[in-house]
Structure 1
């Protein structure tokens, strides 16, 4: 990915020596995590129709979204990058380069979704990305690095321990900087779902769902986030940021973190009824769909007859 020299987002908090952060715990809803097209499409009439269908499916009042709803109430992106507290471990050049990389990727997602929302006459409330080491406290509760990167709707933050990228390369056999970018774009996809109202309604309704129903709906939520990541990737290609092999890196990452692939890797067999993120084939296909189509109308996983 051609990322060097591009704008870095100011919405990055460096909490790698902060001892887990200072947020409250447990009141922000479930974390949406990675498990252990795009700018030109905009939000036209077709998108609004799909949003309306999704709203009816999940019980959301479509007028809330079509008139802007809670967009203005979601925290925006005015947070400046915060350095880790003094006295922390010295940062290597490689670590600092990685911080710059994720900051650029986040900035690129801001540009992509900012334009899509602007095309619909709305303002995109930018999420914050918080770096941590080992464990962290969020509005969704405490989490350890072992749980992987995640998005917390309660504080509109994406959380990631950069050590996950080494695990992605080594354990999941998904190397490459665009595989790393895909991870961030997926979690930002959850933020978009949060903003348009899909994620909050799912989190509210899941309390009355059976486990099977929760898993089935969670899969649709996750696959839509993959599709949204594909929309961002399509915009990155239009900007000339993709290099040879980048798309394959993202598709391989989506494949390697499918529910079936992870279960085969960790326990030697698969339990389809427990899938809640999508199979390798589904994750790869929905990312590719977002990339090929480049618009939100392509990402209607809720009414799709076949995932």
Structure 2
């Protein structure tokens, strides 16, 4: 069990749900919007081909549809009945259901960063929102399907997650264990922290590479995820039970699995550092580990420690 038994159920903190949405709308139209994405696995076409759309400045004028492959799928986009988190009020739900775990993680992230950010970075904290969806969703950055993977949209300061993504982590060589899932959620929250710090806009999908700002910021988000794990598992009011060696291994294994080099190999291509947008497997693992072991934002300053040379 990851969350403590006395940790209140349903502590999502500004978490909503969506049962699916048709393409269109979202944030006042289909204008441009930066979406911070984890690596994604196409489930609905191309024979499960792994592609790199790790950090994209997407213009939702048809390009997004082409990237995802396949045309409209009305059966996937239409609501299959109202989806709620009512079941997350059940005792033990945060350790039983993936969506409840994600919601509880979000609540713990809010509590952790409300203390850490002002204390360590002298930056005012504001809570982001989270939408857990099925099939598809209209975000402030445009329409996204379940195949997109978790992402943070700075235009509406909201993270979006279809928990079916967790099932795909194993296909990349990662784990769908509790801490691995929480790491993926905490990574997206890390982009919100960068948004508050004013550094998120440095990311530039058009200029990738191992020394790019995109890589530096993605590694920092991994490190920030580790900071949450550090603080959430310690102290009298900790949300998590002490993290076991096995759980830590699962999170680190997942961080490694979504490194650019691993994804390039699994897609059948050569390792090309000039195309990286998230960093190598080793870098991602070490970034999470650095935040977890230190609990300090100063350990996550990838923009000024040789990663970014812009």
Relative to the length of structure 2, the TM-score reads: 0.73
Higher relative contact order (Cα pairs below 8 Å, separated by 6+ residues): 1
CA contact (8 A) 2:150 2:161 kept: yes
Q: Distance in 2 between matches of 1:29 and 1:225?
A: 19
- State the secondary structure of the residue aligned to 1:30: strand
- State the secondary structure of the residue aligned to 1:117: helix
- State the secondary structure of the residue aligned to 1:278: coil
Per-residue deviation, 1:29: 2.6
Call closer, same or farther: CA 1:107–1:250 in 2, change over 3 Å.
same
Call closer, same or farther: CA 1:122–1:211 in 2, change over 3 Å.
closer
Per-residue deviation, 1:211: 2.6
Per-residue deviation, 1:5: 4.5
Q: Does 1:236 align with 2:239?
A: no
2:213 corresponds in structure 1 to 217
Q: For each residue in 1:189-233, what CA deviation from the matched residue of structure 2 results, as whole angstroms up to 9, or x when unmatched?
A: 000000110013x15xx49xx634697110001001011111101
1:256-275 pair list within 5 angstroms: 256-275=257-276
Aligned Cα root-mean-square deviation (Å): 3.0
Q: Give 5+ residue unaligned stretches, structure 2.
A: 41-78, 88-92
Q: Structure 1 stretch 263-272 or stretch 247-256: which is displaced more? A: 263-272
Q: Distance in 2 between matches of 1:31 and 1:139?
A: 10
- State the secondary structure of the residue aligned to 1:143: strand
Call closer, same or farther: CA 1:226–1:173 in 2, change over 3 Å.
closer
Q: For each residue in 1:120-144, what CA deviation from the matched residue of structure 2 results, as whole angstroms up to 9, or x when unmatched?
A: 6654211111112222221212222
Per-residue deviation, 1:172: 3.5
Normalized per residue, which structure has more strand?
Answer: 2
Q: Distance in 2 between matches of 1:288 and 1:10?
A: 26
Q: Structure 1 stretch 271-280 or stretch 238-247: which is displaced more? A: 238-247
Q: Distance in 1 between matches of 2:139 and 2:253?
A: 30
Q: Structure 1 stretch 215-224 or stretch 14-23: which is displaced more? A: 14-23
CA contact (8 A) 1:236 1:242 kept: no
> In the comparison of the two structures, how many residue pairs are matched?
255
1:141 corresponds in structure 2 to 142
Relative to the length of structure 1, the TM-score reads: 0.74
1:297 corresponds in structure 2 to 298
1:29 alignment partner, one of 33, 41, 44: 33
2:104 corresponds in structure 1 to 104
Q: Structure 1 stretch 178-187 or stretch 286-295: which is displaced more? A: 286-295
